[in-house]
Chain A
Amino acid sequence: MKKVLVFVLVLLSLVTFAAAKYRIGVAIPAADHGWTGGMVWWAQYAIKQYAKDSTLEFTLVTAREPSEQVAQVQTLLAKGIDALVINPYESAPLTPICVEAFRKGVYTVIVDRGIESEEYNTYIAGDNYMYGYLAGKYIAEKLKGKGNIVIIEGIPSTINTERVQAFKDALKPYPNIKILAQQPGNWSRETAFQVMQTLLTKFPQIDAVWTGDDDMLQGVILALQQAKRDKNIVLVGGAGQKEILKMIMDGNPLVQIDFTYPPNMISTAINLAVMQLKGQNLNGFYQKGMPRKIILSTETITKENAKDYYFPDSVF
């Protein structure tokens, strides 16, 4: 009897010890512009929230290019992980390694940039279409369907193309809105500043500017101020960067609205992996399993709700 008890106890402690460690690998691109910087910050933030939970062990890696990320995931797999949360640097090159992780039984969460395969567990992403569409709709309505606008877009990429296309879709019902120019600002404040400076010289009347994100919007605002044309112009950026949110909160007349494309989707993805490993399901869902695909909504930020989105400690 005693022997059996000891045996059971040992077995139990072994099981709890073995099950006590959930190892989660988080692989994301390195900070190469404001938004990716935000994602790195939010990944660290989410991991910090579990600092006291000894059942979890995180490994966070950041990559400067796709091949580096492939190597990092290979290392994570070799080391042994129970879940992989990855924002692929590029779709095609990262597909084989993500599929390999999935086939090995690693719970694989793909964040934002999809892979070219259905072999993964969960996909979570922002809504690029609405991100562009809502900006276009807002500008069209604000200008009452008539005016000259300028587009300063991000680095040429599928994400950017989708947003710009959606922006133009939203403008279709408004034939009197004219797109004067569409130029890349490469998601950089300095580049957007220079491009806007040039466009201001070329066009005497610009009624609205849409920049692919808030980093570039800040460059545009500087150019407008320097040319003393920061009046009677509708400005829309996107992604909810904290300096722009501060302007909206303070009721600055230049910027009155923002649309989210939240870098903290990485934090949500990390939580999804943790919940899955711990066997929890989503509150309010009748189903036991994690959803396969989650598209986060593009939320509209105005003066009224800006404080809910403002994280002064965040880097983005």
Chain B
Amino acid sequence: MHLRDVISKYGILFALIVLILVAGILSPAFLKIQNIINIFWQISYIGIIAIGMTFIMIGGGIDLSVGSFMALMGALAIQTVNALGDTVGSVILSILITIAVGALLGAGSGFLVAKGRIPPFVVTLGAMAIYRSLVLNFANGGVYMSRSTKYSSIGMMRILELPVPMIVFLIYVIIASIILERTKFGRYVYAIGANETAALYSAINVDKIRIATYVIGGISVSISAILISSMMGSVSSSSTGNGFELDAIAAAVIGGTSLSGGKGKIVGTFLGALVLGVINNMLVMLNVAVYLQGLVKGLIIISAVFLQNVRRSE
């Protein structure tokens, strides 16, 4: 293998290592164990959503609603626990309800895309506006506060010194890569994204698979919403989840997922989310001036993707 092939194949990993080295040299505190754990913690919410997004994007779709969808699911979880009372049972029940509703709403978007023949961009753009408006409406523009201490302790809990959101994220990555890369369903997801017509002729139930990717998206959003809302003990109807769709899509794309479908890997998205997390952390660690943060972030993202395309551009 030529050097450029190696760089291309492991481009994202390569970019990540360079980033970590640079950040570590410029600010030694960056390499502290606690900071590394913090980075995993901080990317877990976006990361989980980005995994759902990866399924949707490989299947040839996109989901712009994830940010406001997350705010809605977080609000639902908090309100359900508040209504049911501060017991372990009600916390578990509300988590299950939230995941179920998330899956259902995801199926709804998927159904409109697959059966309604509406472009996914349009369906999820509409959903984004609808979800945000519902969240704002029920809270009157204010904040949903959790009254349950049991619920708000989940997001802050640690197992073996590791924060729960990080553990959930890592487990999610493993399960998702098994589903996507080791099952028949996973192969079908690639197939419908790469060439829908060919998939149809191979007797794949394209609509069903497509809806299923959105269900996975909805479940991912719900899990992320539960983690973030329990950690903050609240959901702000106006700001929670703002801009998450861009970060989630960015993580997937940096990780090599194709915007036109058929291509992508969970581990890529995982590394993509990590790149985003490292950049955000680095900007703070190095105390980069406020106005220039966007410039630094943008340059790093573009170069990271460029590295992966070295071979193709030759």
- Which residues of A pack against B, CB within 8 Å? 30-34, 36-38, 40-41, 153, 156, 181-184, 187-190, 193-195, 197-199, 201-203, 215, 218-219, 222, 226, 243, 314-316
B280 adjacent to A31 (CB under 8 Å):
no
B135-158, CB under 8 A of A: which get 1 and which 0?
Answer: 010011111010000000000100
Determine, out of B34-42, B51-59, B85-93, the stretch whose residues face the partner at the interface. Answer: B34-42
Q: Is the CB of A31 within 8 A of B27?
A: no
B122 at the A/B interface (Cβ < 8 Å)? no
Residue with the greatest number of chain A CB neighbours at <10 A, chosen from B30, B38, B141, B143: B141
Q: Is there an interface contact between B239 and A33, defined as CB atoms closer than 8 Å?
A: yes
Are A201 and B34 interface neighbours, CB within 8 A? yes
Binding site for A on B (CB under 8 A): 27, 29-30, 32, 34-35, 38, 41-42, 136, 139-143, 145, 156, 228, 231-234, 236-240, 242, 280-281, 283-285, 287, 290-291, 293
Q: Cβ of A315 and Cβ of B239 under 8 Å apart?
A: no
Whether the Cβ atoms of A153 and B136 lie closer than 8 Å is no
Looking at chain A's contact residues, is the secondary structure mostly helix, strand, loop, or mixed?
Answer: helix
17 A–B pairs (Cβ distance < 8 Å), ordered by A: A34-B239, A36-B238, A156-B290, A183-B283, A183-B284, A187-B239, A190-B239, A193-B232, A194-B284, A201-B32, A201-B38, A202-B29, A203-B29, A219-B232, A222-B156, A222-B233, A315-B143
Q: How far is the CB of B65 from chain A (nearest CB, A)?
A: 16
A221 to chain B, nearest CB (A): 11
Q: Which residue of A lies closest to B45 (CB)?
A: A190
Q: Which residue of B lies closest to A194 (CB)?
A: B42
Which residue, of A37, A41, A203, has the highest number of chain B Cβ atoms within 10 A? A37
- Tell me whether A181 and B287 are in contact in the complex, defined as CB-CB below 8 angstroms, given that A36-B238, A201-B34 are known contacts: yes
Cβ 8 A contact of A184, one of B41, B42, B145, B293: B293
A32 touches B234 (CB 8 A): no
Instruction: State whether A201 touches B35 (Cβ < 8 A).
Output: yes
Alpha-carbon distance A198/B32, docked complex (angstroms): 11
Counted as pairs of residues, one from A and one from B, with CB atoms less than 8 Å apart, the total is: 104
- Taking a contact as CB atoms closer than 8 A, the residue among A30, A184, A189 that contacts B234 in the complex is A189
Residues from chain A with Cβ under 8 Å of B34 in the complex? 201
Residue from the list B35, B156, B239, B291 in contact with A198, Cβ < 8 A:
B35
**Would you give the shortest CB distance from B283 to chain A, in whole angstroms?**
8
> A31: which of B141, B145, B293 is its contact (CB, 8 Å)?
B141
Residues of B within 8 A of A316 (CB): 142
Docked CA distance A31–B142 (Å): 8
Contact partner of B290 among A183, A188, A218, CB < 8 A? A183
Q: Judging by beta carbons under 8 Å apart, are A37 and B228 in contact?
A: no
B residues within 8 A CB of A190? 228, 232, 239-240
Q: Using A31-B238, A199-B284 as known contacts, list a sample of 8 further A-B pairs with CB atoms less than 8 Å apart, ordered by residue number in A.
A: A31-B136, A37-B143, A38-B141, A40-B140, A156-B290, A188-B242, A201-B32, A219-B232
Contacts of B281 in A (CB 8 A): 198
What's the Cα separation between A198 and B278 when bound, in Å?
11
- Residues of A near B283 (CB, < 8 A) are 183
Q: How far is the CA of A115 from the CA of B250 in the complex (A)?
A: 37
Q: Give the docked Cα–Cα distance between A215 and B236 (Å).
A: 9
- CB of A156 within 8 A of CB of B287, answer no
Shortest CB-to-CB span from B238 to chain A, Å, is: 4
Q: Knowing A37-B141, A156-B291, A183-B290 touch, does A194 contact B240 (C-beta < 8 A)?
A: no
Contact: B236 with A33, CB < 8 Å?
yes
Q: Please, how many angstroms separate the alpha-carbon atoms of A222 and B199 in the complex?
A: 49
Contacts of A218 in B (CB 8 A): 232, 234
In whole angstroms, how far apart are the Cα atoms of A40 and B142 in the complex?
10
* A32 and B135 alpha carbons, distance in the complex (Å): 12
CA distance A51 to B29 in the complex (A): 58
A47 to B34, CA, bound (A): 51
Complex: A230 Cα to B240 Cα, angstroms:
24
Given contacts A32-B242, A189-B232, A316-B142, contact A197 B42 (CB under 8 A): yes
Closest partner residue, chain B, to A315 (CB atom): B142
Looking at the assembled complex, report how far the CB atom of A62 sits from the nearest CB atom of chain B, in whole angstroms: 9
